[in-house]
Chain A
Amino acid sequence: MIPLVSLVDAVTHFLDPSVLGRVLFDGLAKASIYVMIAAGLTLIFGLMGVLNFAHGSLTAIGAYLGGLVMVTFAASASGNVGRIALFFVAIVVVFALLTAFGGAMEVSLIRPLYDRPPLYQILLTFGITLVLEELLRMVLLFYDIQPSTDWLAAQGTRPEIISKTHDVVGLGVEGLEVFQILLGLAITAGVWVFLTRTRYGLYIRAGSEDGEMAQALGVNVHQAFTVVFGVGVGITGVAGALLMWDSAWAASINLGAEVLLPAFVVVIVGGLGTFRGTVVAGVLVGFVDAFTTELFTSDIVGFSALPELFIFLILVGTLILRPQGLFGVEEVGGH
């Protein structure tokens, strides 16, 4: 069923420097994507213990919003620098809108549920996903933007420097991947600063250590929950805006489900609520993904689903060997 040609072939294939370099770059780019889509989820869980099922559809909304900004103003900025600057404008717009939306969602819908069993938060956010997805579909139909297929107009706004494959010391390096890696680093650094240098970051860290104690020590929990939920949703939207340029993901209705599952895997493997764990797990999953993709495209192993399958095998394997995740605290999942 899975014909292994030969182990020696595989080893020699991967020792080739160009292949090694490609896997390295792919892995880093995928790692940044995975970290970005999981960062919001882990922030929200860290403080509030809410597993946000609506995460995926919020990413999809971010992708469409980002695309909308890009497509609307693409004509006025056609150069490389202009387009990239415009992209950062789009990111700011998406972040602001989705942070506000996330905050409103927390206040109006999730707040009444804190005194119920945690099961109900999963149920509620799952319901929100369904509603958001259908609303998105309706809006797209209303404006005649093709739903469910990839939104090509948004991808067309990619500046030339990012679409091209650059030749660096004999290695073909895709501009998009470099951009993804840089943005991933920036966002990781941003979240890290948020966690270690701001009041709310302190609350999150305290909350994921011992929520009750943090509350007893006078943290304004209500406000902190709203802010953190908003920021978590905002980051998700930014990740969506980035995915819009990547033809492997692109802005589509299905993006929600496509993003949700890897995000869960990364967050759970890293340990729910720890940002460090999320980064490590994101890198792990990214590299495994890149490695298995290479294995599959180079015909060494003839089972096309390997990358997809491996993500979930990592999840199950981690939960068997270390149920609290790589960096998780045991009590966090205890309720």
Chain B
Amino acid sequence: MFLPRVQTMITVFYFGLFAMSFDFISGYTGYLSFGHSAFYGLGAYFVILVANGKVPLLGNGTPFMMLLLLAGLLAVVMALLMGAVAFRLTGVYFAMITLGFAQILYVFFSNWDYVGSNPRDGIAVLGRQDGFSIGVPYVDSLNMSIGQLQGDTFTWGMDFAAMTGIDALSPISHTIVFGPGEVSYYMIGLVVLVCYLAMQRIIHSPFGRAMIAIRENEERARAVGYDTFRVKMGAFAISGFFGAVAGGLFTGYRTSVAPENSFYFLTAGDALLASIIGGFGTVAGPLFGRLFHEGLHEFLTKEGGGLLPYLRQQLGEGTLNTVILDGFTVAEGIEVFLNGRAGLYIGLLFVLFVLYVPNGLLGTLRAYLGGTVAGQVAAAVERRVRGWKL
């Protein structure tokens, strides 16, 4: 009951990927990409516009995986254009110019009537009936449809008893049925996992070391002989690629998008929250940060098994209707101070993290263990096993 719902986890996955891509550039090179939502929005809109047949040369039946790849490449081009201008600046100015680019796209897409009849409210997939599917393009049996309201169901295993009509076979008959939610969970999780491993690989390559060198001291990195401009451009392009993939996954699952939840600068702000809470400068951290955010959000809403239904059950009518102050009852108090107030508590936590835990959850855990969690846990197990008399 304390685990988040599958639907929540799907959000954690695709938004966590976006937060990871934000952290990839901001946490590892130290350049705060405050307009990172530009890439997320680009990926999100690209998928829907192709599905609605509004992108020249691409039919509305283009496989989803191709779309993700193309969206990523488009973002790479955009990142190189943006970066060519933005990397002439540092610090606050870099953050502002990326923010400026993102806001230009935001205003543009919320007013451009080509994308849909009411661009300010966003657009939905209208041009195709089937859900988007993740898998190997053009091989139907290796594709799984994802979607919030539609999507594949999947049965794993075999029911021999039903197939043969022999009841005696029932002990070896096992089936697991995945609903659309679970299928989306695994398929989106798979893409996010691959992206995570790719980013992880890049960070641990010489290129990734150069990125960290830039964060620690850019002048010194240049003096050592790195072409820092090219490293930064490369990092920004890679980060843009994964940001757009995250955006594509978001609309692939939700099949609708609005300027507010894609291009708007506060979308990048949410990624920033996730990165700081999870661990700035760790690849996996933002995913945990987002999990925390979504978990708290779910905990503080009326639906599901969170705090509010629990309080309502435990407190009873009498307590709920007790007047605290000037006709203000306990029930209203819960409504005002708890229901949907995740933003407040996340914000408070964020401030506390910036002040006292600047490394975030994962970074602090790493500092405590003295290395990456995976490495230290494995080493500890190894030490323990060696001690055993076999």
Task: Write the chain A residue with the least CB distance to B34.
Answer: A122
- Give A271 to B351 CA distance when docked, in angstroms: 28
With both chains docked as a complex, state the minimum distance between the C-beta of B112 and any C-beta of chain A, in angstroms. 8
Q: Is the CB of A138 within 8 A of B341?
A: yes
Give 28 A-B contacts (CB < 8 Å), ordered by A residue: A1-B112, A112-B355, A117-B30, A122-B95, A123-B276, A123-B350, A124-B355, A126-B269, A126-B272, A126-B350, A127-B347, A131-B344, A131-B348, A133-B347, A134-B343, A134-B344, A138-B341, A141-B336, A142-B328, A142-B336, A264-B96, A265-B100, A268-B93, A305-B110, A312-B103, A323-B88, A334-B90, A335-B91
Using Cβ atoms and an 8 Å threshold, which residues of chain A touch B116?
none
Interface size class of A (residues with CB under 8 A): 35 or more
B158 in contact (CB, < 8 A): no
A152 in contact (CB, < 8 A): no
Q: Give the contacts of B334-390 with A (CB-CB under 8 A).
A: 335-337, 341, 343-344, 346-348, 350-351, 354-355, 358
Task: Write the chain B residue with the least CB distance to A307.
Answer: B107
B77 in contact (CB, < 8 A): no
A197 in contact (CB, < 8 A): no
| Partner pick for B91 among A113, A118, A130, A138, CB 8 A cutoff | A118
Q: Is the CB of A315 within 8 A of B91?
A: no
With both chains docked as a complex, state the minimum distance between the C-beta of B259 and any C-beta of chain A, in angstroms. 11
Q: Give the contacts of A244-282 with B (CB-CB under 8 A).
A: 257, 261, 264-265, 268, 272
Known contacts A127-B354, A133-B343, A264-B99: A1-B93 contact under CB 8 Å: no
Q: Is the CB of A316 within 8 A of B97?
A: yes
B315 in contact (CB, < 8 A): no
- Give A117 to B108 CA distance when docked, in angstroms: 34
Q: Give the contacts of A107-130 with B (CB-CB under 8 A).
A: 109, 112-113, 116-120, 122-124, 126-130
A135 in contact (CB, < 8 A): yes
Q: Is the CB of B92 within 8 A of A113?
A: no
Q: Is the CB of B354 within 8 A of A303?
A: no
Q: Is the CB of A122 within 8 A of B101?
A: no
Q: Is the CB of B351 within 8 A of A109?
A: yes
A309 in contact (CB, < 8 A): yes
- Give A319 to B103 CA distance when docked, in angstroms: 15
With both chains docked as a complex, state the minimum distance between the C-beta of B75 and any C-beta of chain A, in angstroms. 18
Using Cβ atoms and an 8 Å threshold, which residues of chain B touch A313?
104
Using Cβ atoms and an 8 Å threshold, which residues of chain B touch A128?
347, 351
Q: Is the CB of A304 within 8 A of B90?
A: no
- Give A122 to B351 CA distance when docked, in angstroms: 11
- Give A130 to B88 CA distance when docked, in angstroms: 30
The DSSP consensus for interface residues of chain B is: helix
- Give A1 to B88 CA distance when docked, in angstroms: 32
Q: Which 5 pairs show the lowest CB-CB distances between chains A and B?
A: A130-B347, A134-B344, A305-B111, A127-B351, A131-B347
List 17 additional contacts besides A141-B335, A308-B111, A316-B104; criterion CB under 8 Å.
A109-B355, A118-B92, A119-B30, A122-B32, A123-B276, A123-B350, A127-B347, A130-B269, A130-B347, A131-B351, A142-B328, A142-B336, A261-B99, A268-B96, A305-B108, A312-B100, A333-B91
With both chains docked as a complex, state the minimum distance between the C-beta of B97 and any C-beta of chain A, in angstroms. 5
- Give A113 to B112 CA distance when docked, in angstroms: 42
Q: Give the contacts of A290-335 with B (CB-CB under 8 A).
A: 303-305, 308-309, 312-313, 315-316, 319-320, 323, 333-335
Using Cβ atoms and an 8 Å threshold, which residues of chain B touch A323?
88-89, 93
A51 in contact (CB, < 8 A): yes
- Give A117 to B348 CA distance when docked, in angstroms: 21
- Give A120 to B356 CA distance when docked, in angstroms: 11
With both chains docked as a complex, state the minimum distance between the C-beta of B145 and any C-beta of chain A, in angstroms. 35
Q: Is the CB of A333 within 8 A of B92?
A: yes
With both chains docked as a complex, state the minimum distance between the C-beta of B123 and any C-beta of chain A, in angstroms. 16
Q: Is the CB of A261 within 8 A of B103?
A: yes
Which of B103, B111, B358 has the most C-beta atoms of chain A within 10 angstroms of its own C-beta?
B103
- Give A129 to B273 CA distance when docked, in angstroms: 12
Using Cβ atoms and an 8 Å threshold, which residues of chain A touch B97?
315-316, 319
Q: Is the CB of B111 within 8 A of A113?
A: no
- Give A38 to B85 CA distance when docked, in angstroms: 25
Q: Is the CB of B107 within 8 A of A305?
A: yes
Q: Is the CB of B336 within 8 A of A257?
A: no
With both chains docked as a complex, state the minimum distance between the C-beta of A98 and any C-beta of chain B, in angstroms. 19
B114 in contact (CB, < 8 A): yes
B266 in contact (CB, < 8 A): yes
Known contacts A131-B351, A261-B103, A313-B104: A319-B96 contact under CB 8 Å: yes
With both chains docked as a complex, state the minimum distance between the C-beta of A37 and any C-beta of chain B, in angstroms. 16
- Give A106 to B222 CA distance when docked, in angstroms: 36
Known contacts A119-B32, A316-B85: A135-B107 contact under CB 8 Å: no
With both chains docked as a complex, state the minimum distance between the C-beta of B269 and any C-beta of chain A, in angstroms. 6
With both chains docked as a complex, state the minimum distance between the C-beta of A52 and any C-beta of chain B, in angstroms. 11
With both chains docked as a complex, state the minimum distance between the C-beta of B108 and any C-beta of chain A, in angstroms. 7
